[in-house]
Amino acid sequence: MPVSRSIFLKGHKLKRIKYRCHRVDKIIVDGILEKEWKKAENLEFFIPVTMVQPSSKTSAKLLYDNDFLYIGFFCHDQDIKATYTKRDSPTWQQDVVEVFLKTGENISPYYEFEFSPIKTVFDAFLPGPEKLQDIFECAKWNCEGLKVETKICGTLNDSSDTDQYWSIEIAIPFKGLPTLKGKQPEKGDKWLFHLARYDYSAYLPSGRELSSTARFTVRNFHFLDDWMYLEFQ
């Protein structure tokens, strides 16, 4: 969710939920969540404020090795929509999954990544919520070495039939994140993060559904108080 479209409301700070990110041998990024992902803990998604589970079920997992943070999503979807092909297009206007990362609790800048079913990437390096600026200015930054592959089971951009799902594997290179200054996360390190999804569908009552792995007390994916801990094992 871009900053310019966020709803900034005062929330009630909750105890952060912790996700344990396990180390793995190198993953082949092909869009299919195969056996390597079995050692990863599963994440469920919730609608902000109401905390109920979304109509379109989503699951996600994270793993890492010396070079990459790996994220895998499996998105049930009856109506898969994606037409943007240019990097840093407004991908949030169609089906998309999102990754928000902050490489330390006391570090102000953070990252927003968005990925469509057709592998279109939106990536932005944000200075922090207290220094908001135009999201497209922030998106002039590109994460070098980023890898993404998807698998689609359904018909793109055709609401006349019923699709099944799309899955995605993402590899974010540690060397591509400037706040790490060339370092890699070590066992015991904690980041802040959450994963999110925009689902647009003719089968949804409102036509759109937003959800996240974090339990958001406000309708704002940039509300850092509600983000989760990512603890490297």
Kindly report, residue by residue over 121-136, the tens digit of the pLDDT: 999 999 987 666 789 9
Burial class (CB in 10 A: 0-12, 13-18, 19+), 201: buried
Gap between the Cα atoms of 171 and 99, Å rounded: 11
Query: Do residues 195 and 97 touch, judged by C-beta distance below 8 A?
Result: yes
Most distant CA pair in the chain: distance in Å?
49
- Structural domain boundaries of the chain? 3-232
Indicate the helix (H) or strand (E) that contains 146: none
Backbone angles phi, psi at 13, to 5 degrees: -65, 130
6-20, 74-88, 217-231, range with the lowest pLDDT = 6-20
Burial class (CB in 10 A: 0-12, 13-18, 19+), 102: buried
Query: Do residues 214 and 138 touch, judged by C-beta distance below 8 A?
Result: no
* Helix/strand/coil for 29: coil
Read off the pLDDT band of 4 (50, 70, 90). very low
Kindly report, residue by residue over 178-210, the tens digit of the pLDDT: 999 999 999 999 999 999 999 999 999 999 999
CATH no. of 3-232? 2.60.40.1190
Using the predicted structure, report yes or no on whether residue 13 has a pLDDT greater than 70.
no
